[in-house]
A and B are shown apart, each in its own frame.
Chain A
Amino acid sequence: MIDFTKYLNETVKAIPPSGIRRFFDLASEMDDVISLGVGEPDFKTPWHIREAGIRSLEDGKTAYTANQGLLSLRKEICLYHKRRFQIQYDPQKEVLVTVGGSEAIDIAMRSLINEGDEVILMSPGYVAYEPSVRLAKGVPVIIELKRENEFKLTPEALEEAITDKTKLMLINFPSNPTGGVMSMKDYRKIVPIIQKHQILVISDEIYAELTYDQPFASPANFPEIKDQCIIINGFSKAFAMTGWRLGYILAHPTLIAAMNKIHQYAIMSAPTVSQYAAIEALRHGEKDVEIMRESYLARRNFIVNGFNQLGLDTFMPQGAFYVFPCIRSTGLTSEQFCEKLLAQEKVACVPGNAFGQAGEGFIRVSYAYSIEHIKEALLRIQAFLHTC
């Protein structure tokens, strides 16, 4: 018998399996599970966008595209960012179309990090960030975001995390899993620090379109640090296109060229059919986004009020489609809470600590579900809380 583990790369071996995976396995073995556990829209991709993909196949557009992505798509991406977020990029040199935001995160890390470079990450944060840093041999430095600050990044916390080895920071607002956002006012406080220390900012803005109550703000909105910013965005959340696997990076030409080096050898080019569908999404999809945003807004209110009425303290998130209720009052850990809830009432949520230790005491609940579905889940959670 060969011991195959001896062939494995040590860095890969050292990465723990995702805490979400375990819940997925538990939940998939059960019947009648009502899930609040997904990190993707419940809407189907709007029909006109699907149709554009289908048409591209009918027209035989099935070959590779340029490594950086179709120029017509890159142009649309730049027009979109100018129109929606008032930030200008050059479609020739400052855009790279990727296979989802996930590839973008990976190649950004790999093209920038040297062994031992420190990368500041937020916790709770999306599950892929820390492994991506580790795979690139970087050293994650964690800032714990606090409920009392509505999970925003404060200048004090940032200043404290920076050392001479800091090269990068990665932020994700609106945030998965907390739903927290950073406004222009919030960024104004940290921009001078970023400028002073000349650190690069990877801003994962995949939930930019799902911002409620106030306009979306990006660190790249500040001209003094725009060139230090690497914007990651994509079509998954805004246009309900998760399965199309399409994202992009906006950054300084030198950085794009470096990332494109990895991209061209590892990926070649993002799926052509998805790129044609994405052009349609950017040209004619804003109304769809508006309809989905409105729908999420009603669900958000519904679920936040629901959790607070159940006695689980939940702040009103201003973005994404997650709420992050605090479950400390039950005396259970996040994992115990989620496991028991799944076993007793067949409701699937994700324990907060799957997103880093700072998530302990919380659960991540997605509201990418119909109000009827959320209502049923809340009733079951209520029944569960009576037994706690």
Chain B
Amino acid sequence: MMDTALLLKLIDNNARMSITDLAQALNECENNIENTLSQLEKDKIINGYHTLINWDKTNTDHVMALIHVKVTPEREYGYDRIAASIYRYPEVDTMYLLSGDTEFIVVLHGKTMQEIAWFVGSKLACIPAVTGTSTAFVLKQYKVNGAIFEDDKDDYERLLVTP
């Protein structure tokens, strides 16, 4: 039996791991790995293979904001239709439904603060179910999806050979 959980952990850690390497690490044949991966994709368990880019280190204009969004749920549909009306905007990178004071948290990516402010003011806040927003701009990314973005100042010397 293929250890699917371990397969997912391996590619969660490194999505670029090749089929050959995955087969070797899981003690499976390559065909099995390919079939399992495509099944996981079909089942929407795997939804993409992304990179973790620290845009701050590039010369690109890039601003990120976390926006708490308060909404009134709709009879029959609850939050899902409202959520769809928000996440369909390409500016929305990530969106979660939360417990607690606000209903949604929306992660927005834009080129400038003005661009994000414009989106919140003229798009997000105008959706009828939205009753309030609170925008927090990201100043610095320390750790994203398990990867530490800080410069690695690790001068710790691991011994090359030990008993």
Contacts and interface: CB of A to CB of B under 8 A. Distances in A.
A230 to B, nearest CB: 21
Interface size class, chain A: 20 to 34
Interface string B2-25: 000010011000100100010011
B160 A294 contact: no
A264 interface: no
Contacts of B26: 298, 301
A302 B17 CA distance: 12
Nearest to B157: A28
B156 to A, nearest CB: 9
Contact of A24 (B9, B24, B27, B159): B159
B100 interface: no
A305 B21 CA distance: 10
B163 interface: yes
Contacts, number: 59
B60 interface: no
B9 A38 contact: no
A318 to B, nearest CB: 13
Interface string A32-54: 01010111101000000000000
Nearest to A25: B161
A24 B157 CA distance: 13
Contact of B25 (A27, A35, A127, A301): A301
Interface size class, chain B: 10 to 19
A52 B26 CA distance: 35
A14 B17 CA distance: 50
Contacts of A35: 160-161
A375 interface: yes
A348 interface: yes
B161 A38 contact: yes
B85 interface: no
Contacts of A299: 25
Contact of A23 (B17, B24, B161): B161
Contacts of A40: 162
A38 B159 CA distance: 7
Select the residue from B26, B27, B162 with max chain A CB neighbours within 10 A. Answer: B162
A371 B17 CA distance: 9
Nearest to B7: A298
B161 A348 contact: yes
Contacts of B153: none
A306 B21 CA distance: 9
B159 A301 contact: no
B146 to A, nearest CB: 12
B143 to A, nearest CB: 12
A371 B163 contact: no
Contacts of A371: 10, 14, 17, 21, 25
18 contacts: A23-B161, A24-B161, A27-B160, A27-B161, A33-B160, A38-B159, A40-B162, A126-B163, A128-B163, A297-B6, A301-B27, A302-B21, A305-B24, A305-B27, A371-B14, A371-B17, A371-B21, A371-B25
Given A38-B162, A294-B9, 10 more contacts: A24-B159, A38-B159, A38-B161, A40-B162, A298-B25, A302-B24, A305-B24, A350-B161, A371-B21, A372-B14
